[in-house]
Structure formats: structure tokens, C-alpha cells
């Protein structure tokens, strides 16, 4: 790419420096030769104009040196002031295309497994005819054994083609170019029982201002008690883990298990290229880590299969479900150098390659955020009632949230909202590009989860519609059956252990046939008994023919059991 080539490729061993495109270090510039000093200027003696001129030159030289020192002090003070001011906010900018920044694009990607290696992407291509353009959608196949939601056929391109179809530049972020995040050490709750210390207690006025989208914005986005997310902010992460997270570039697949609620699922059908270049991170709390160590060994690289395990301490919430929203919605704060992310809930197993998913749900549609819609419900009011019936959250909190949204203008879903196809997502999978507008969306979505209930399905449409009214952007929603094609849902740990503890169903009792008595040879020669034997055989033959059309069942007649063959 011309923009990258002009600046050089990013070094595979260093993530903040650039190297020349030809792979060679620039030769150091030769130092200019020192000018020979004249003997006359080394003497302060002498009289007349020459001596006075030398003395005045020396005084000017000393004065200019003091000015330089004063200027350096002023510059240092200005730098210190800028640093102190910038420590209050974290910055996320949308740079012009062609300029490589922390979120820039390179023709090479670092090997996440072997940091000393790097892979080269194939050159981007534009296909005249996409391989899947003639693919027609078909509903899930009929399966009498499975009557619930099922996967439907999805057309993916091979991994090699998906790599070639990767966009050469970031997607445009409408209006918003620079996104900053508020943080501070002296936070005071402004509204009782709303928000948290981790979220920064944004007021309702600050909440309203966060939807006034401008070229540059500063918003609450979690991690409010510190300068670096994960360092004394709540949701604390070891420095070594943070360092590896910051070095992750390109694509991250992330998941989390808190409260030992799920069983870790290993991704399947992952290409060699993805195994080596895509970051797979699994966030655990200490309780889950202790349970996993009882059955699984974590190696020195902190890996279990493909997952790089990160243990989180000092969790900001007492509710494990609410803690899970931090990595789910704030991945851009934990992985500042990542371009794309795929979030999957801890109960899910990924069974498709990440590059195939990005091509299918982002690049092919030219969108920057994709999430599946709920398989059954489209209306937030219906979703709220279902949450109350299912005991997902206390009814009073759900009612308060819905009434608040109603006062803001929330209405039932109808065809009038088209092309919006649903107000209720199935939020267990999120596929997105990290650009300022999508980062703002997930920040504001997290703020709703922090202020109200942790049921993110209830707040999704409110945040989406508020942003959509101001800029030309929306979250793309794909079918739930398409989601079920690339992730397989497992039981939660508690349910799975209950299944294992339950006794097996009783085996059906089979009737035992009485052993036949052997007739003597002379009996078969008697004509009466021989004919009787033939009649019994014919009757059995008829029974076999008639019984073949029915299920094999046992009948009890007169206290005796018979098995129909």
C-alpha cells in the first residue's frame, strides 16, 4: 500500500517503531567538521576596538545561552502541563487514510504465537463476481429430533480469499474523528443507586451530552479510576498480561467466564494462519481459575489450547454477569492496537475461522458492527416481560428501565422502523471494527448497562436509535440461524453438572422367552400333531407380517409377557 510504503513497514519485533521499506537501517548522517578556532578570539587581552568587540561578543554569547536555557525550561513546563492534562482522558483518534498510527494498517502482521515471525497478507483484490453472489438463503432443514432454533446454511469464502478481500483502509467514522475517555481519582456519586465507581457515575446531563456527536468527544467509558485501563481501575490485570494485550494487532477473539459459570470451549476449524496471527484471549476471575486448575494444566505461556488466559482481579461488580459486560463491550479499551474484534460468550464454541466471519458479516456488507437478532422476539417490551418471567433480573429494576425509556420515546417495534429488522439482539456474539463511532456505541451501551440492569438486550435499541438520529450509522443485524452456524452453544456449568448427577433413565424390561422343549423324534411323525405344528407356524407367520407394521412393543396378556418381533 502506498501510504504504508512511504512510511515503512512496522517492525515485527517492535510495535511502536517503523522500519524502512527495504528492510535496511538508514546510514547515520556524517557529523559536520569542527571549524578551526582562530587564535585571536581565544584571547581576552588587548586594547582598543578589538578588545572591546571580543568582550561584547562574549557577553552576548552568555546572554544567548541563558535565553536558550530559559526557553528549554518553558518547553519542559509546557510538556509537563500537556501530560497532566492528557492524563485525565484517554484518546482514540480516526487518522486520515494512508497515515499509519496505532490503529494503522500494514502489509504484515505479527505472529501472536511466535513473536519473532511475521506473516504477509496477500494483496487486496476486488472481485467482479463474488463467489457467494448466487447463494440463495434457505431456512434451516427440517429435523424431527430438533424442533427449536437451528442453524441455516451460510456461504463463506475460503480463508485465502477472505484475506485477499480484507479492506485496505479503515471504514469511515461518520462525523466523529477523535474519541476521548474521562477518568479521575476523586469520583463522587452524583445520583444514588445509579451507575458505579467503575463507570464514573455519569449524570443524566452528561448522558444526554454523550449523544451530541461531534468531531471530537469526551465520554465516560468505564475504567474511570485511573489513567491506564486495567491498572488500579477495577478489573485489574497483571502488567505482563497487559503488555501482551497491547501487542495484539489485527484481530482478537475474546471471551470470558466469571463466577465459574461456564465450561471453557476450545475453538474448532481454525486455519493455521489464524492460529498464528489471531489473538485468542479468555478472561477469568480467580474463582474460575481455581476451578480450572483442578482439571486442566495452564502452561508457562498461560495458554489452554488456543486461549491465552488472563486472570482479572479487583472486579468492579459483585454480579458476575455485569462483570462480563466489561470485556464484552469495552474491548477497544483493553486492546488499543486491534483493528477487528469478535466477542463470543463463555458458553459458546467457535467453529468457523475468524477471517471467514469478518468477510461474511463485515467486509461483504461494508458495515463496521454486526450482531445477530433474537431468534423469537423483536420488541423490547416483550423482551422485558420475558426477562421477568424467566427471573433474569428483579422485576422492579426492569420496570424502572423500561418506563425510563418510554419517557424518552421508546415505542413497540413495527414495520415503520424498517430497514431496522429488530429491536432485540442475541448479544452473545459481537463482530466489529474498532473505529471511533463503533467505540462510542459500545461505550454508551456499557453506560446504560452500568446505570440500569445488566440485561444488555433491553438497552441496545435505545443507544442505537439515539446515535442513528444524529449520524448515518447503525448496527447491522443478521439472522440468528446464521449465528448458530458458526458457534455451538453448550450447557452452563450448573446445568451440565446437574445432568451428570442425575441417574440414567431405567432400561426397558424385556420379557424372557421360555426355553422350548425338544420334542421326541417319533412325535413329529404323528399326523395329528404334525398338522397342528404346521398350523402354529402359519399363525406365527401371519403375526410376523402384521407386527412388522407396528413399533416393537411388549404386551402383557393374562400375566404373561410377549415380545412382538
What DSSP string runs through 450-513? HHS-S-HHHHHHHHHHHHHTTSS---EEE-HHHHHHHEEE---HHHHHHHHHSPPPPPPP-PPP
Kindly report which listed range (79-93, 153-167, 320-334) carries the lowest average pLDDT score: 79-93
Q: Which residues contact 51 (CB under 8 A, 6 or more apart)?
A: 44, 45
Helix (H) or strand (E) holding 74: helix 49-86
The distance from CA 405 to its chain's CA centroid, rounded to whole angstroms, is 27
What was the pLDDT predicted at 256?
98
What was the pLDDT predicted at 293?
92
User: Cis omega (within 30 of 0) on the bond before 419?
Assistant: yes
pLDDT at 3 over 50: no
What was the pLDDT predicted at 73?
72
> When comparing pLDDT for 546 and 205, which is higher?
205
223 touches 330 (CB < 8 A):
yes
277 touches 251 (CB < 8 A):
yes
Stretch 67-90: mean pLDDT: 59
| Alpha-carbon distance values, 498 to 57, 346, 495 (Å) | 92, 19, 5
3-state secondary structure of 328: helix
Euclidean distance between CA atoms 485 and 503, whole angstroms: 32
What was the pLDDT predicted at 498?
52
Q: Torsion angle, CA of 36/37/38/42, rounded to 10 degrees? A: -170
Per-position b or e across 409-429, b if 16+ CB within 10 A of its CB: ebeebeeeeeebebbbbbbbb
Question: Which cell numbers in the block locate residue 441?
Answer: 456505541
What was the pLDDT predicted at 544?
45
Euclidean distance between CA atoms 401 and 465, whole angstroms: 16
Stretch 533-545: mean pLDDT: 48
Give the pLDDT confidence of 356-383 residue by residue, as tens digits: 999 999 999 999 999 999 999 999 999 9
To the nearest 10 degrees (0 to 180), the angle between helices 456-468 and 436-451 is 140
Give the pLDDT confidence of 239-251 residue by residue, as tens digits: 999 999 999 999 9
Stretch 294-311: mean pLDDT: 92
pLDDT band for position 441 (cuts 50, 70, 90):
very high
pLDDT at 525 over 70: no
Residue 564: is it exposed, middle or buried by C-beta count within 10 angstroms (0-12/13-18/19+)? middle
pLDDT band for position 556 (cuts 50, 70, 90):
very low
pLDDT at 75 over 80: no
How many of the other CB atoms lie within 10 Å of CB of 219?
A: 21
Give the pLDDT confidence of 96-155 residue by residue, as tens digits: 333 233 344 444 555 555 665 555 666 666 677 899 988 988 887 777 777 778 999 999
What was the pLDDT predicted at 143?
74
221 touches 325 (CB < 8 A):
no
pLDDT at 81 over 80: no
Per-position b or e across 513-525, b if 16+ CB within 10 A of its CB: eeeeeeeeeeeee
Half-sphere exposure of 44 (CA within 13 A, CB side): 5
Euclidean distance between CA atoms 112 and 380, whole angstroms: 41
176 touches 437 (CB < 8 A):
yes
Kindly report which listed range (30-44, 60-74, 390-404, 426-440) carries the lowest average pLDDT score: 30-44
Helix (H) or strand (E) holding 447: helix 436-451
What was the pLDDT predicted at 184?
80
- Residues constituting the chain: 565
398 touches 453 (CB < 8 A):
yes
337 touches 112 (CB < 8 A):
no
Amino acid at each position: 500500500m502506498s501510504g504504508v510504503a512511504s512510511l515503512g513497514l512496522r517492525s515485527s519485533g517492535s510495535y511502536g517503531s517503523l522500519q524502512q521499506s527495504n528492510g535496511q537501517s538508514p546510514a547515520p548522517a556524517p557529523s559536520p567538521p569542527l571549524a578551526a578556532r582562530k587564535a585571536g578570539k581565544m584571547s581576552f587581552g588587548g586594547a582598543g576596538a578589538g578588545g572591546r568587540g571580543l568582550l561584547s561578543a562574549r557577553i552576548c554569547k552568555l546572554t544567548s545561552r541563558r535565553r536558550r536555557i530559559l526557553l528549554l525550561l518553558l518547553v519542559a513546563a509546557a510538556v509537563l502541563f500537556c501530560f497532566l492534562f492528557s492524563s485525565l482522558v484517554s484518546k482514540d483518534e480516526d487518522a486520515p487514510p494512508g497515515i499509519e498510527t496505532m490503529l494503522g494498517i500494514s502489509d504484515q502482521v505479527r505472529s501472536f504465537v511466535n513473536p519473532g515471525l511475521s506473516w504477509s497478507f496477500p494483496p487486496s483484490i476486488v472481485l467482479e463476481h463474488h463467489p457467494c453472489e448466487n447463494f440463495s438463503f434457505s431456512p434451516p432443514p427440517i429435523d424431527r429430533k430438533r424442533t427449536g432454533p437451528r442453524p441455516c446454511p451460510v456461504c463463506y469464502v475460503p480463508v485465502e480469499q477472505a484475506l485477499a478481500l480484507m479492506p485496505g483502509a479503515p471504514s469511515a467514522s461518520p462525523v466523529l474523528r477523535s474519541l476521548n475517555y474521562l477518568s479521575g481519582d476523586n469520583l463522587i456519586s452524583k445520583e444514588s443507586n445509579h451507575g458505579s465507581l467503575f463507570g464514573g457515575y455519569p449524570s443524566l446531563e452528561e448522558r444526554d451530552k454523550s449523544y451530541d456527536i461531534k468531531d471530537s468527544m469526551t465520554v465516560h467509558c468505564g475504567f474511570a479510576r485511573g489513567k491506564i485501563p486495567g491498572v488500579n481501575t477495577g478489573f485489574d490485570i497483571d502488567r505482563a498480561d497487559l503488555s501482551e494485550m497491547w501487542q495484539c494487532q489485527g484481530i482478537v477473539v475474546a471471551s470470558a467466564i466469571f463466577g465459574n459459570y461456564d465450561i471453557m470451549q476450545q475453538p474448532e476449524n481454525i486455519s493455521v494462519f489464524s492460529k498464528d496471527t489471531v489473538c485468542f484471549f479468555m478472561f477469568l476471575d480467580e474463582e474460575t481459575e481455581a476451578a480450572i486448575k483442578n482439571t486442566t494444566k495452564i502452561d508457562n505461556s498461560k495458554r489452554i489450547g488456543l486461549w491465552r488466559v488472563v486472570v482479572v482481579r479487583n472486579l468492579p461488580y459483585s454480579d458476575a454477569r455485569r462483570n462480563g459486560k466489561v470485556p464484552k463491550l469495552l474491548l477497544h479499551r483493553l486492546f488499543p492496537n486491534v483493528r477487528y474484534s469478535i466477542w463470543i460468550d463463555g458458553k459458546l464454541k467457535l467453529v468457523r475461522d475468524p477471517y471467514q466471519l469478518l468477510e461474511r458479516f463485515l467486509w461483504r456488507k461494508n458495515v463496521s458492527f454486526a450482531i445477530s437478532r433474537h431468534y423469537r422476539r423483536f420488541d423490547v417490551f416483550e423482551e422485558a416481560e420475558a426477562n421477568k418471567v424467566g427471573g433474569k433480573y428483579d422485576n422492579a429494576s426492569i420496570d424502572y428501565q423500561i418506563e425510563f425509556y418510554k419517557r424518552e420515546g421508546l415505542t413497540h417495534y413495527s414495520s415503520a422502523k424498517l430497514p431496522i429488522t429488530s429491536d432485540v439482539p442475541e448479544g452473545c456474539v459481537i463482530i466489529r471494527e474498532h473505529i471511533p463511532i463503533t467505540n462510542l456505541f459500545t461505550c454508551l451501551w456499557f453506560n446504560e448497562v452500568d446505570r440500569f440492569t445488566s440485561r444488555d438486550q433491553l438497552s441496545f435499541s435505545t443507544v442505537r436509535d439515539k446515535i442513528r438520529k444524529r449520524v448515518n450509522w447503525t448496527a447491522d443485524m443478521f439472522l440468528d440461524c446464521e449465528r448458530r452456524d458458526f458457534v455451538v452453544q453448550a450447557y452452563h456449568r450448573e446445568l451440565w453438572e446437574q445432568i451428570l448427577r442425575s441417574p440414567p433413565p431405567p432400561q426397558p424390561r424385556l420379557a424372557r422367552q421360555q426355553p422350548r422343549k425338544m420334542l421326541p423324534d417319533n412325535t413329529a411323525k404323528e399326523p395329528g400333531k404334525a398338522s397342528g405344528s404346521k398350523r402354529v407356524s402359519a399363525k406365527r407367520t401371519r403375526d410376523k407380517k402384521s407386527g412388522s407394521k407396528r413399533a416393537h412393543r411388549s404386551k402383557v396378556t393374562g400375566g404373561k409377557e410377549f415380545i412382538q418381533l
